[in-house]
Amino acid sequence: MFNKEGIPFFTVVIPFLSILFISFFATSYHLKVTNKTFETNIQEYKKLYILKSNDVEKLNQVVEKKRIEHKINQKEFTDFVFILTVSIIVFMALFSLLMSSIINDVVKKYKQQVQSKENKLQNLNRSLASKVDIGIEEGKRKDKAILQQSKLARMGTMISMIAHQWRQPLTELSGVLMELETATRFKKVTDTHILNSIERSDKMIEFMSNTIDDFRNFYKPDKKKEKFSILDSCQKAINLINASLDDSGVELIVDVKNDKEINGYPTEYSQVILNLLMNANDILNEKKVQNPKITITIDTKGVLSIVEVKDNAGGIKNEHFDLIFDPYFSTKDSSKGTGLGLYISKLIIERNMGGELSVSNDNDGAVFKIVLVG
pLDDT in tens, 189-201: 787 878 888 887 8
Do residue 107 and residue 228 come from a single domain?
Answer: no
Q: Compute the Cα dihedral for 140, 143, 148, 149 and give only its sign.
A: positive
Rounded to an integer, what distance in angstroms lies between the CA atom of residue 213 and that of residue 151? 18
237 and 118 in a common domain? no
Query: Residue 346 and residue 339: Cα distance in Å, rounded?
Result: 12
Q: Does residue 250 lie in a domain region? A: yes
Q: Are residues 366 and 235 in the same domain?
A: yes
- Is 171 within the bounds of a domain? no
Give the domain-ending residue among 98, 123, 148: 123
Three-point CA angle 219, 221, 222, nearest 5° = 130
CATH of the domain at 294: 3.30.565.10
What integer is the mean pLDDT of 23-52?
A: 61
Res. 348 pLDDT band, cuts 50 70 90: confident
Residue 36 belongs to some domain of the structure: yes
Any domain includes 104: yes
* 230 and 352 within one domain: yes
What is the per-residue pLDDT across 196-241, written as a single tens digit (0 to 9) for each? Answer: 888 878 877 876 776 676 566 655 665 678 899 999 999 988 888 8
Asked if residue 267 belongs to a domain, the reply is yes
Confidence band, pLDDT 50/70/90 cuts, at residue 4: very low
- Do 358 and 235 reside in the same domain of the chain? yes
Q: Are residues 228 and 349 in the same domain?
A: yes
**Is 133 inside a domain boundary?**
no
Better-predicted residue by pLDDT, 11 or 348: 348
Domains in the chain, number: 2
Name which of 350, 274, 268 is nearest 309 in CA terms.
274
Please state the separation of Cα 77 from the chain's center in Å.
78
Q: Which of 69, 102, 123 is the last residue of a domain?
A: 123
Task: Tell me the average pLDDT of the chain.
Answer: 77
82 part of a folded domain = yes
60 has a pLDDT exceeding 50: yes
Taking 60 as the threshold, does the pLDDT of residue 336 lie above it? no
Choose one of 95, 123, 151: the last residue of a domain.
Answer: 123
Window from 33-47, 102-116, 132-146, 222-236 with minimum mean pLDDT: 33-47
Domain that holds residue 316: 224-373
Taking the alpha carbons of 55, 56, 59, 65 in that order, is the dihedral positive or negative? negative
The whole-angstrom separation of Cα 127 and Cα 364 is 53
Residue 177 lies inside a defined structural domain of this protein: no
**Residue 246 and residue 356 in one domain:** yes
Q: Do 231 and 368 share a domain, yes or no?
A: yes
